[in-house]
Amino acid sequence: MVAHALAEAVTYPAVGASLDVERISHAFDIDGSVLPVLDDVNFSVKPGEFFALLGPSGCGKSTLLRLVAGLEAPRSGVLREDGDPVTGPFPSRVVVFQDPTLFPWRTVWNNVALGLEAQGILKSQRQRVDAALDLVGLSQFRNAYPHQLSGGMAQRVALARALVNDPKILILDEPLGKLDSLTRITMQAEIVALWQRKGFTTLLVTHDVEEALFLANRVIVFGDRPARIKADIAVDRPYPRHRGDPRLAELRRSILGLLGLDATW
Amino acid sequence: MSTYSASKTVALAQSAEEGAALSGRPLSLAFSFPPGGTGVFASLAWVGFGISCLWWPDIGDWTRTHQLAAAAFVMSGAIFLATVAGSRLGRFNAGLQRRAPWLLVSALFLTLWEVATAKFGWLPLPFFPPPQSIIEVYTDDLPKLLDSIIASVKLQLGGYVIGATVGFLTGVSIGWSRSVGYWVHPVLRFIGPLPATAWLPIAFFTFPSSWSASTFLIALATGFPVTVLTWSGVASVSNAYYDVARTLGAKPSFLVLKVAIPAALPHVFVGLFMGLGSSFAVLVVAEMIGVKAGLGWYLQWAQGWAAYANMYAALIVMSLLCSGAITLLFRTRDRLLIWQKGVVKW
């Protein structure tokens, strides 16, 4: 079972793109003063990898995601998707934000269809919307409006809205941060399953050590702002993982130590 | 609700009706009456109104007293039959049940009006004409009234559509483009708050016809609130929506048409509502002062002849038209903004 799951993750390497982050620095201008947020960040993500960025809140990891998504341009440095520089947003790199940010005036189905509609290919590809809704188990809610959904359902719709584009890199910006803990546990397993099935590269930002270790192949730990990489940890455990795994507990302790939070552990 | 006394319930009928409409439950005003009891009382009240028309002689010379009484009896019969037929009429019956207290109260009001004017003259004539003289206006002066209605609707519709369209487009442009905002915003601030009626004297000189002048003023009165609210609607759209759309491959035109405008629509409708209100005022004033047609002109003309019944008749029509226009606007909004929760029912 474990071996099978691993094999499955490895059979789709062509779907995911590689991501190279080369000497990225970024800063914000706030009231005339310059606030550095990222300082010479370097790493590269292999195709199909599940990659987690972990760090204290406000350390600049979400900013890094916006750069990867192409929503902002870095002050210096280059980002490469499969070797090509990132110059702007593109549906091969789709973000799931902490808030589902569904469009309240669109039904669930129309929200999921957003990407295909924006790219002008919805008419010929409607079945992809149905398939994406199936994937997150919300086909029955296709005609519901966002205000009728629970938080977990809304976030699943946001996930479907991203997946319908068949992204090469799925960018998850603390997507489970606002959900209750039970829904969070369920959706963590769902995300792993989706990733294994689809084989896209996943970039997850989180400040939840356990979540990063439960989901990711590799975890990068950021220090305080301006963000610099403190550690690059390979999580060498097969899927599906168990939360009680002693190896994960060991990694968790060392990561908390890096963040200066190991006193209570 | 059952704890209300009968007299209180009558006074509260309107708010209770609204409450029931909001909660979606059938209204139970049946304090101590059996189901349909209010319907029977309403029917009796209409008989009473009919009798009040016939019982005493008119103190003036009105030609429609008997017809009015006949109409009251027909109304009474209809209410009675519908009440007796009860649940066989389905939804119509539910509507009747809900309106029965209002039917009852309106019959009482008409009776009081009839007695106080046509029969005993407690209210001075000709300033307070009886119901039959208003019926007389509707039957005998129908052509002129209809012409006025058509003229008013045409003028209002033309001005409103122009004003709403221009206001909407201006609002979207200001909200979307910094450079448009730079040039239009000061002009808007300078001209917008001026009441459109202040332009009247100039407009009637500078425009080729009083009709085009009035259209311009109505458009102006409509355009200002629509512009400001569309603008604020577009400006207040959360950046997160744009981020989502952009990562999904949206181009700028998609961001305007499929993100900014739908997100701003609730604001736009507030603007359309406010614009409608202020354009009514301009319409009536313009018709009274410059345009030689329309309900405003009719009012003015009737006043010149001391034809007070005509004035009331025109006021009633005007009120129905304005209320109808607002109802139409709210229906459209409910249809377009079905995704919103908790919108006010008009």
pLDDT tier, B35 (very low <50, low <70, confident <90, very high otherwise)? low
Query: With pLDDT > 70 as the criterion, what percentage of chain A qualifies?
Result: 93
Set of chain B residues whose Cβ sits within 8 Å of the Cβ of A168: none
Domain ranges of chain B: 6-16+30-127, 142-336
Mean pLDDT of the B245-271 span:
92
Mean pLDDT of the A149-174 span:
90
Cα separation, B175 vs B177, whole angstroms: 6
Residue B20 scores a pLDDT above 60: no
Residue B77 scores a pLDDT above 50: yes
Residues in chain A: 265
Cα separation, A97 vs A113, whole angstroms: 17
Of B248, B251, B341, which has the smallest distance from its Cβ to A114's Cβ?
A: B248
Mean pLDDT of the B295-324 span:
91
CATH number of B142-336: 1.10.3720.10
Residue B240 scores a pLDDT above 50: yes
Residue with tokens 């201006």: B170
Cα separation, B310 vs B129, whole angstroms: 9
Cα separation, A216 vs A194, whole angstroms: 13
Set of chain A residues whose Cβ sits within 8 Å of the Cβ of B238: 101
Residue B298 scores a pLDDT above 50: yes
Query: With pLDDT > 90 as the criterion, what percentage of chain A qualifies?
Result: 14
Mean pLDDT of the B169-197 span:
90
pLDDT at A14: 55
The sign of the dihedral angle between the CA atoms of A248, A250, A254, A260 is positive
pLDDT at B317: 93
Q: Are A58 and A10 in contact (CB under 8 A)?
A: no
3-state secondary structure A179-195: CCHHHHHHHHHHHHHHH
pLDDT at A263: 66
Inform me whether the C-beta atom of residue A99 falls under 8 Å from chain B C-beta atoms. yes
pLDDT tier, A3 (very low <50, low <70, confident <90, very high otherwise)? very low
Inform me whether the C-beta atom of residue A147 falls under 8 Å from chain B C-beta atoms. yes
Instruction: State the pairing for strand pair A50-54/A93-96.
Output: unpaired
Distance from CA of B243 to the nearest CA of A (A): 7
Q: Where are the alpha helices (DSSP H) in chain B?
A: 6-23, 37-55, 65-85, 91-114, 131-140, 142-176, 178-191, 200-206, 210-235, 239-247, 252-254, 261-289, 295-304, 308-336
Residue A265 scores a pLDDT above 80: no
Distance from CA of A85 to the nearest CA of B (A): 16
Domain ranges of chain A: 1-10+18-40+53-92+168-178+189-243, 102-166
Residue A59 scores a pLDDT above 70: yes
Residue of B237, B247, B259, B334 best to disrupt the A interface, most CBs of A under 10 A = B247
pLDDT at B338: 83
Q: A162: part of which helix (H) or strand (E)? A: helix A151-163
Single-letter code of the amino acid located at B185? H
Structure-block tokens of residue A252: 């968790």
Residue B164 scores a pLDDT above 90: yes
Set of chain A residues whose Cβ sits within 8 Å of the Cβ of B245: 114, 118
Residue of A95, A101, A129 best to disrupt the B interface, most CBs of B under 10 A = A101
Could you give the ipTM of this predicted complex?
Answer: 0.86
CATH number of A1-10+18-40+53-92+168-178+189-243: 3.40.50.300
